[in-house]
Amino acid sequence: MINSIFRFGLIFILLILLQVLLFNNIQFSGYVNPYVYIMFILLLPIEIPSWLLLLLAFGTGLIMDFFSGSPGMHTSATVLAGFVRPNVLRIVSPKDGYESGSDPSMFIYGFRWFFLYTLLMVLIHHTALFYLEVFRFADFFRTMLRVILSTIFTVTFILLIEFYRRGK
Amino acid sequence: MRNLLNFLARYNSLIIFLFLEGIAFYLISTRNNYQNSRLVNSVRGVTSGIEKKINNTKSYLSLRKVNETLAEENVALKNRIAKFTKTESSLFFSVNDSIYKQQYFHTSAEVIKNSVNKQRNFFTINKGESQGIKVDMAVISSNSVAGVIVGCSKNFSVAMSLLNPDFKLSARIKSNGYFGSLSWDGKDYRYAILSEIPQHVIVTVGDTIETTGYSAIFPEGEIIGTVSDYEIYGGDFYKIKILLATDLKKLHFVDVVGNMKKTEETELEKLYK
């Protein structure tokens, strides 16, 4: 228990630092903004109680909002991601279900499963985030383009990080 | 009572979700420019230490480019000084009253945090109230418009970038003097839109756009950019796409410009409102 708190604490700090120090500074052409910190919500244990998941999502979003100076947007999108996570896990669930007490990781459930899971979660999070940021439907398709491009980049980076974790 | 408890137990995650989203939306809805920048300001006190570190690394990497720009600016300034000393000597002007002629004063500052990829962009500079920065001062970067100060703390200030739809600026076409309103449409960080130019005006691609000085914030004649495209918009007006002269993504050293006669001007204008 203590061990896993320590482990997730470390993952959390590393992901936030990575986001703030590296990915927030990328700003490719105004269309691509990878938000890799969402990986923290992805990696939490499968059987985590939903209230804890939601509170952790809230905290993560709040900290991201602090760093990007945008009150509420990251919080709202991340809480949404935390809320839909159990349903997404059910949708992508492998044939023989999940092992009890396991983490949603690539080397237990395979690349295909992890990719699909990440893609769905990131897509939901980014859709909420970018539409909240624009706060109007006037530029609907342009925002959609931003969502899609950023999702591609975020998913790629998350897969790379997961590969690296596996290598460790 | 039992039913209520059952209900709560069954939908507890939905209730927590709605509660947390409620807080988030409350935060979003109370954001309004001024308060937002206030909040940003107080929070940045916490995060600016880290941002400073990031910036130090960045500024080291871009030293070469910065040197070139500074050298260019130096040459331009030297030329201007040369011009002034010449005219001054030919005038019968023995008292050197600098306040009499000077309306604007410049302070240089360094941008420590900047963004171009959001819908409402702000940037932070490393000078604040203690260095004489005040709200509503103009920020320009090597003679073209970058933003306006919206909040100051002791040693830092937050400026609303030109890349913010709430930033409205009075601008004119240099060649014929017709003025309109300039703002960003949230699409591309290199372009802004100049509207309210009537259709009988002749607009050519490549025309220079500059500030008017009507706002009492920006000095007159600061370059904003050049016309890159225009189309007819609404009944009688053009919608002109401006290629910005500053690359706001590369913003690093800026000048903060204060208007010393601003209070005088606004007080006077208030009388006739």
Confidence of residue B143 (pLDDT cuts 50, 70, 90): low
Q: Is A72 on the interface with B (CB under 8 A)?
A: yes
Q: Is A132 on the interface with B (CB under 8 A)?
A: yes
Would you place residue A96 in the very low, low, confident or very high pLDDT band (cuts 50, 70, 90)? confident
Burial of B126 (0-12, 13-18, 19+ CB in 10 A): middle
User: What pLDDT, in 10s, does the model give residues B159-179?
Assistant: 888 888 888 888 988 888 888
A110 to chain B, any CB pair closer than 8 A? The answer is: no
Closest chain B residue to A54 measured between Cα atoms? B17
Distance from CA of A167 to the nearest CA of B (A): 29
B123 CB burial (10 A radius; 0-12, 13-18, 19+): buried
Residue B16 and residue A51: Cβ atoms within 8 Å?
Answer: yes
Calculate mean pLDDT across residues B109-118: 83
Answer positive or negative: Cα dihedral of B70, B74, B75, B80. Answer: positive
pLDDT of residue B48: 66
Instruction: Say yes or no for a CB contact (<8 Å) between B21 and A80.
Output: yes
Question: B27 to chain A, minimum CA–CA distance in Å?
Answer: 5
pLDDT tens for residues B41-55? 555 565 666 777 777
Residues in chain B with CB shorter than 8 Å from the CB of A50 are 12-13, 16
B201 shares contact with chain A (CB less than 8 Å): no
Chain A residues close to B166, C-beta within 8 Å: none
Listed as own residue / partner, the contacts of B52-59 with beta carbons closer than 8 Å and 24 or more positions apart are B52/B112, B52/B126, B54/A21, B54/A25, B55/B110, B55/B111, B55/B112, B55/B113, B58/A25, B59/B110, B59/B252
Q: Flag if A139 and B47 touch (Cβ within 8 Å).
A: no
What is the share, in percent, of chain B residues with pLDDT greater than 70?
Answer: 83
For position B100, what pLDDT does the model report? 52
For the structural domain made of A2-167, what CATH number should be given? 1.10.1760
φ/ψ region of A44 (left if φ > 0, alpha if ψ in -120 to 50, else beta) reads beta
> CB contact, 8 Å: A139 with chain B?
yes
**Which range has the top average pLDDT, A119-123, B18-22, B138-142, B258-262?**
A119-123
Q: What is the ipTM of this complex?
A: 0.81
Nearest to A11, CA basis, from A33, A44, A57, A35:
A44
Task: Tell me, yes or no, if A97 comes closer than 8 A to chain B by beta carbon.
Answer: no
Q: Flag whether pLDDT at A73 surpasses 60.
A: yes
**Given a cut of 60, is residue B140 above it in pLDDT?**
yes
- How confident is residue A154, by pLDDT bands cut at 50, 70 and 90? very high
Residue A74, judged by CB atoms within 10 A of its CB (0-12, 13-18, 19+), counts as buried
Mean pLDDT on B244-268: 81
Which residues, other chains included, contact B211 with Cβ-Cβ below 8 Å and sequence gap of 6+? Answer: B145, B169, B170, B171, B172, B218, B219, B220, B221, B222, B224
What residues of chain A, 11 to 70, have a C-beta less than 8 Å from chain B? 20-21, 25, 27-28, 30-33, 50-51, 54-55, 57-58, 61, 65-70
Opening angle at CA B66, ends B62 and B68, nearest 5: 125
In one-letter notation, the amino acid at residue B144 is S
State how far residue A86 is from chain B, nearest Cα, in angstroms. 11
Chain B touched by A133 (CB under 8 Å): yes
Using the predicted structure, report yes or no on whether residue B87 has a pLDDT greater than 60: no
* B20 contact A CB<8A: yes
Taking an 8 Å cut-off on Cβ atoms, the answer to whether B31 and A76 are in contact is no
Computed over every residue of chain B, the mean pLDDT equals 78
Quick check: B28 and A54 CB within 8 A?
no
Smallest CA–CA distance, residue A19 to chain B, in Å, is: 13
Question: Residue B133: what are its φ and ψ, rounded to 5°?
Answer: -80, 135
**Using CA atoms, how far apart are residues A60 and B185, in angstroms rounded to an integer?**
31
Q: What is the DSSP letter of A99?
A: P
Question: Are B24 and A79 within 8 A, CB to CB?
Answer: yes
Give the residue, A102 or B82, on which the prediction is more confident. Answer: A102
Residue pairs between chains A and B whose CB atoms are closer than 8 Å: 90
- Judge whether B46 is closer than 8 Å to chain A, CB to CB: yes
Question: What pLDDT shows up at residue A29?
Answer: 63
- The full set of domains in chain B, from first to last, is 48-89+97-162+251-262 (2.40.10.340), 169-244 (2.40.10.350)
Which pLDDT score, from 0 to 100, does residue B102 have? 59
Helix axes A73-91, A50-68, angle to 10 degrees: 140
Are the beta carbons of B143 and B208 closer than 8 angstroms? no
Q: How many CB atoms lie within 10 A of CB B23?
A: 15
Q: Is the pLDDT of residue B186 over 90?
A: no
Residues in A closer than 8 angstroms to B39, CB to CB, are: 69, 71
Asked whether the beta carbons of residue B117 and residue A33 sit closer than 8 angstroms, the reply is yes
For residue A62, the distance in angstroms to the closest alpha carbon of chain B comes to 9
- Mean pLDDT over residues B45-74, rounded? 75
What is residue A105's three-state secondary structure? coil
Range among A30-34, B45-49, B57-61, B204-208 rated most confident: B204-208
Distance of alpha carbon A144 from alpha carbon A25, whole angstroms: 22
End-to-end CA gap in chain B? 63
pLDDT band with cut points at 50, 70 and 90 for residue B136: confident
Confidence of residue B34 (pLDDT cuts 50, 70, 90): very low
